[in-house]
Structure 1
Amino acid sequence: MLALFFILMLPAQADERLMVVLAGDTGLNASGAPLDARGGWKGGQRVAGAEALAGIAPWLQGDVVFANLETVVTDRSDIAARDKMFVFRMHPQGVREFAEAGINVFSLANNHALDYGTRGAGETLAHVAAVPGLRASPGLGRTRDEAMRPHVFELRGLTVAVSAVGNAGGGLPAREGHAGMLQERVDFSEVAARLKAEAADLRILSVHYGREFDPLTDAADVERFRRVAAGGGATIVAGHHAHVAKGVEISGSHLVAYGLGNFLHLGTQNMARFDICRDFGLLLRVGLVRGETGLAVETVEAVPLKGMHLRVAPMDGEAARLRLEVLNYLGRRLGGADARGLRFRPQADGSGLWCADGAADARCAGWTEPEASAREAEIAAACGRVVTRGNF
């Protein structure tokens, strides 16, 4: 951590700071719902993207604003769905509204990317590429190379590279209008190596992985994510798929978010029915500072979310404080020789703040790590439960 301290003690001007916002699973339609340019459908009501995002919009302001787009994007109703329990598609207008709200990077690699087959994935690839203001959308491709290739763009004198790999993929047809994706269990190391080889100042790796509804992270996943972050392959590793938030860690001077949970997806259930370890989503605001050895994480804001199934908004008051205590418990389970699980100190606006040693950000004056929660035993019991879709 000494190296990080000296990086952060260097004077940092406004143009040497970068804000990266990370959000989880996103989509604007319920399973099998009709396509509608005016909004998505859930429970018989139509919801426009701008309306669904209104409560969280102030938190979506940043230089790089990431979300996992977990749906097919198409305006065609004649493409057959695969035989699955849940199949998601949304109209391209909804993606444009997401971009207008501030999201400028999407991961397309997840277990719903192929809900309408490789033809539907080809539709997603074409429509997302046409969205104004979108800087990167990795994860799908017409060939293996295209699906693996980092999306690269320039931002305020920095080069940013973003890669994505998901689960339940496979099949990369070269036919015109079709697309596929890679498998994280098979292709993770190759995707990460390809990202590391990119000459970039900021590298973001998106991974859709793991068991649903489990706020704890397998040791094998911790090891492989930590290895990529600490080894310089990714400045930020963003995990998602479990529908619940997981712990956050600094590995070296880089960030691993093991699980962002749901962000805004009309196809998901109301998570408020679950326990305190599973009833919220997570938005992270990662403040990076540029020093002599590159970008390092200076601050992380954690924003617990509610209403992710319909109209997403930040939690506040005691509800937010308790979910931050859950995150802090999960953070205490992480860490190692060159890794540090993050604990967030509650702020007046309901968010939590973590500051690196020597952080120059004014909000970090006097910052200290919070003590363990008085409800630690209750949190540990809830997070340790085995929960599936049908047993809660």
Structure 2
Amino acid sequence: MITMALAGDVMLGRGVSRAVRNMAASDPWGDLLPRLAAADLFIVNLECAITDHDRPWSRGWKRFHFRGGPHVLKVLAAAGVDAVSVANNHTLDFEEQGLFDTLAHLDRAGIGHAGAGRTLADAAAPAWLEAGGQKVALIAVTDNEAGFAATPTSAGTHYLPVSPSRETLAYLADLIASTRRAGADLVVFSNHWGPNMVDRPPAHFRAFARAIVELGADLYFGHSAHLVQGVEIHRGKPILYDTGDFIDDYAVDPLMRNDRSFLFLVTFDGQRLTRLELIPASLSFARVAIAQEPERATICRRMKALSAELGTRLDERDGVLLWVAEDG
């Protein structure tokens, strides 16, 4: 039995980087810290470079450049983050040097990473984790920021447009199969995909995620929209279309409410999904906390409705949302 905690965008740059200099390392995680400590693994999307290199990306226009100093690693360590996706549209915000620094800092901290590297082969390589006697592989891709894409001879991200093409699916089938052959008991497929502020996955995203599950992934871990989207159980496997934001300094949209999110706890018995628990979370500047009433009820009501549209019933129990396998 293994329980993985997953959270969406953790952006430790800009205002967060400044704020955490004067915080205890555990402060940004608030009262969610005990729930994180109880999980066997914790995986997030790292939505910034970790570097002192201060030259921003200059090979194309970019509105936002996110960079945290090496001191932000203490925040990841305090929550026991085991691995991060670095396949996203901010990993190279401070050029290749920023990427290389990020990977080096993560390596020194003992935090796994997937989705970017010195070559395409490096970027495509999974991060390997172990817990509960099982080997877990994290594969990470993104369809954001084509200019960041790695090539066979240059650094960048594991860039992959969302496409049902035979070529794309064959590539992913080979990648997932080779990861299984390398010893993975569970395969987590992370995708930083789509535009911001979209509250439902479009039909072609749903088709793509289902195809990835059918190719052998055990868990689809989506992020990028800054909003949590509904969850779907497909062939007994969870699809988290978008896990929203988790730590950041972002402006809050008063209608879309990107300051409302969830911590996702996914439990497997072997390769069988037995339980999915969603803990409602409320975000403030550089901090996250368990949502309190009446906000908690509002967050849960929205997620129940969005998931119901995808054919997934979530029950509310003791302040959280639950899906439990019928024979679990």
TM class, shorter-chain normalised? 0.7 to 0.9
One-letter identity of the residue aligned with 2:225: A
TM-score after normalising by structure 1: 0.74
Correspondence for 2:252:
270
Q: How many residues align?
A: 315
- Is 1:323 aligned with 2:323? no
Correspondence for 1:194:
175
TM-score after normalising by structure 2: 0.88
Q: 1:77 to 1:114 in 2, by over 3 A?
A: closer
Deviation at 1:46, TM superposition (A): 4.9
**Please, which of 83, 87, 93 is the counterpart of residue 115 of structure 1?**
93
Correspondence for 1:161:
137
One-letter identity of the residue aligned with 1:66: I
Would you say the 8 A contact 2:261–2:299 is kept in 1?
A: no
Correspondence for 2:277:
301
Correspondence for 2:48:
71
* Structure number, greater radius of gyration: 1
Query: Per the alignment, in what secondary structure is the counterpart of residue 281 of structure 2?
Result: strand
Would you say the 8 A contact 1:244–1:262 is kept in 2?
A: yes
Correspondence for 2:34:
58
One-letter identity of the residue aligned with 1:356: A
Deviation at 1:260, TM superposition (A): 0.5
List runs of 5+ in structure 1 lacking aligned partners. 1-16, 34-38, 336-340, 360-392
Cα RMSD (Å) of the superposition? 2.4
Correspondence for 1:345:
315
Deviation at 1:93, TM superposition (A): 2.6
Deviation at 1:49, TM superposition (A): 4.0
Whose strand fraction is larger, Structure 1's or Structure 2's? 2
**Distance (whole Å) between structure 2 residues aligned to residue 184 and residue 321 of structure 1:** 37
Q: 1:320-343 CA distances to partner (integer Å, 9 max, x unpaired)?
A: 1221121111112114xxxxx2x3
Q: 1:21 to 1:308 in 2, by over 3 A?
A: farther
Deviation at 1:251, TM superposition (A): 0.8
Deviation at 1:96, TM superposition (A): 3.3
Query: Per the alignment, in what secondary structure is the counterpart of residue 67 of structure 1?
Result: strand
Q: 1:321 to 1:196 in 2, by over 3 A?
A: farther
**Distance (whole Å) between structure 1 residues aligned to residue 192 and residue 173 of structure 2:** 13
Query: Per the alignment, in what secondary structure is the counterpart of residue 188 of structure 2?
Result: strand
Query: Per the alignment, in what secondary structure is the counterpart of residue 260 of structure 1?
Result: coil
Would you say the 8 A contact 2:13–2:49 is kept in 1?
A: no
Q: 1:102-143 CA distances to partner (integer Å, 9 max, x unpaired)?
A: 2111101101111111221111111111113x2x21011111
Percent identity (aligned): 28
Q: 1:286-331 CA distances to partner (integer Å, 9 max, x unpaired)?
A: 11112xxxx1111111112112542101113332122112111111
One-letter identity of the residue aligned with 2:323: W
Would you say the 8 A contact 1:53–1:311 is kept in 2?
A: yes
Correspondence for 1:91:
69
**Distance (whole Å) between structure 2 residues aligned to residue 105 and residue 217 of structure 1:** 25
Would you say the 8 A contact 2:259–2:284 is kept in 1?
A: no
Q: 1:284-299, aligned counterparts within 5 Å?
A: 284-290=264-270, 295-299=271-275
List runs of 5+ in structure 2 lacking aligned partners. none
Q: 1:110 to 1:49 in 2, by over 3 A?
A: farther
Deviation at 1:283, TM superposition (A): 1.3
One-letter identity of the residue aligned with 1:72: A
Q: 1:131-187 CA distances to partner (integer Å, 9 max, x unpaired)?
A: 13x2x2101111111111112233332221111012214443688xx8311223068
Q: 1:366-377, aligned counterparts within 5 Å?
A: none
Query: Per the alignment, in what secondary structure is the counterpart of residue 147 of structure 1?
Result: helix
Correspondence for 1:141:
117
Q: 1:29-82 CA distances to partner (integer Å, 9 max, x unpaired)?
A: 22xx6xxxxx7226x9955542211332122131121100010011x2443444
One-letter identity of the residue aligned with 1:303: I
